[in-house]
Amino acid sequence: MCGIICYSGHRKASQVIVEGLKNLEYRGYDSAGIATHTEQSIEVEKGEGTIDEVIKTGLNGDRGIGHTRWATHGKVNRTNAHPHTSSDNSVSVVHNGIIENHEELRKELGRERFKSDTDTEVIPHLIQDELEETDDLQKVCRNVMERLEGSFAAVALLDTGEKIAFKKGSPLVIGDAGDEIFLASDVTPFLKYTDKAVFLEEEDYVIVDEEYTIYNSGEKVEREVEHIDWDAEEASKQGHSHYMHKEIIEQTETVKRAAFQDRKDLLKAVEMVEKAEKVYITGCGTSSFAAELGALYLREAGIQLEVEQSHELEYRKDQINKEDLIIGMSQSGETADLLSLLKKTDASVLGIVNVVGSTLDRDSELSLYVNAGPEIGVASTKAFTGQLAVLKLLAAAADNNIEEVRKSILETSDKIPKVLEDNDSNIDLISSYLSNKNDAYFIGRYKGRIVSKEASLKLKEISYIHSEAFAGGEFKHGTLALVEQGTPVIGFMTEDTSSETLSNMAEAKTRGADIIGIGNVEDTGFDYFVDIPEDNNPEILQTAVAQLLAYRTALKRGESINPDKPRNLAKSVTVK
């Protein structure tokens, strides 16, 4: 779960790479490093910490590779940071993924050659050994790939100045700027320089010198050059203190983008749903909550389906057959648990994804795009509400009322800024209150139950406050025993479930809880209240409020907390 950015061109490579790595820190940020080619040699600078902490000198050379790490194998230290070099220093490698057979390869290659504890270090040693046998870089790539098991996207810088790259299971994309060539984990590091991207396919390998050439199975192949309509400014903070805050505010536009799904695509998706023997909708983390809400939307439209998190549904893979349909949810399109499930079934796949050209996108028979643009903050915000908009339209297509639902979503999106502005002082008060608490409980019913789960996740992942979410009806079956004087209980009131949720909150209040209401009900008896106007899509408005509440709470917990980079977490979960 790491980020790669590599450059060949006429600029100082280290400067371009460091700039690009900062746009990839959402993929991991416990260590970083770069390597550049100068006068037939390779120089490396790496260490533990953020990009700014690690990269001090800026190496010379107009070709280089860079990496920001989220540790999977080996402790967080300088030795385990990428790039890793061969024993003769002729090869330097950056890698995203996991080499599953690295222990066997270490034994074969000779453990005395290894300096780090990482799985990655087998790659430069393998390349070194192959280069001692042949100067045919195609053969080198093929032979190395054949010996690696697992998921990998790797780029190697050779002391000749050439680069070779290969991928299996992990994302790798070429940025084509004519006389400048980029290789990266996604498009954000090179958007400033080019909007032309080539998404590599499974077991593609690339040789880069003055130009790039793509091969697969020993044959030269052509891959489509796609024009990315995100600009570099979209991927910046645009004056906000954090990406998360920018992405919360952007939702008034991104929900609209998600709402403009092509009618033909929606109808084709419905056709896939209706002809399937059985339908499953699945995702992980925030996307799993979107999947749960999507299941409710689709059931209301008369579609019967199952919903389960991908890592759990995989245990039932043998029950899924080729006549079935899996609706896969992922912001990045690279979520390892979801992709692992899809590889082990023959079912058709309908992808709901934000990143065009991602693995999920390519593995899907049809994709409905969230169109949220780059989401840099680790905690998903605009991608989640965009997913909800897409799912609502899918249900609307099944119910033959696309335009009516599209109109309602557009109306909801226009309300987001006003809801946040009108409740600004209350959100500020509640965040101050929560910042001094160690525990919090969220409750709701039906759709409110799932909104409460997403709100709880946001609070815990960026503020580090222990938080749990429950169906209102279950709260009194055990968890109520944990409520004492001053315990915060946050309730989401949606649709016709408000009275029952209010009753559950009243029970908590009689036990000493401080109750916080978020919804469209009369403000009576609450210690704090956020008023959500009447709307056909209240869960989108409630979610935006919960995101801002979590963000401000995190800021008030202390300067050591960075909402964009919660500890121990990474944006794109590309390992199981």
Active-site residue, from 192, 382, 392, 571: 571
Category of 371 on φ-ψ map: left (φ > 0), alpha (ψ -120 to 50) or beta: left
Angle at 425 between CA 463 and CA 493, to 5 degrees: 75
Strand partners, 351: 328, 367
Side chain identity at residue 422, one-letter code: D
Known catalytic residue at 392: no
Q: 389: closest CA among 288, 188, 251?
A: 251
b/e per residue 241-279 (b: at least 16 CB within 10 A): ebbbbbbbbbbbebbbbbbebeeebbebbbebbeebeeb
Category of 333 on φ-ψ map: left (φ > 0), alpha (ψ -120 to 50) or beta: left
Active-site residue, from 2, 6, 141, 284: 2
Give me the torsion for CA of 325, 330, 331, 334, rounded to 10°.
-110
Residues, the chain: 576
Confirm if 92 and 46 have CB atoms less than 8 A apart: no
Confirm if 416 and 251 have CB atoms less than 8 A apart: yes
Strand partners, 440: 467
Q: Are strands 41-48 and 63-69 parallel, antiparallel or unpaired?
A: unpaired
Side chain identity at residue 27, one-letter code: R
Q: Which two tokens stand for residue 541?
A: 């408005």
| First and final C-alpha spacing in the chain | 10
Confirm if 324 and 279 have CB atoms less than 8 A apart: yes
DSSP 6-71: EEESSS-HHHHHHHHHHTTGGG--SEEEEEEEETTEEEEEEEES-HHHH--S----SEEEEEEE--
How far is it, in rounded angstroms, from Cα 199 to Cα 204?
Answer: 10
**Helical H segments across 37-136, by residue range:** 51-54, 102-109, 122-131
DSSP 134-191: ---HHHHHHHHHHH--EEEEEEEEETTS-EEEEEEBS--EEEE-SS-EEEESSSGGGT
How far is it, in rounded angstroms, from Cα 569 to Cα 268?
Answer: 36
How far is it, in rounded angstroms, from Cα 76 to Cα 47?
Answer: 9
Q: 441: closest CA among 416, 463, 419, 470?
A: 470
Q: Which two tokens stand for residue 361?
A: 């996108």
| Strand, coil or helix: 282 | strand
Q: 187: closest CA among 178, 177, 179?
A: 177
What's the DSSP call for residue 538? H
ω into 488 cis (within 30 of 0): no
Known catalytic residue at 2: yes
Helix (H) or strand (E) holding 571: none
Residues taking part in catalysis: 2, 571
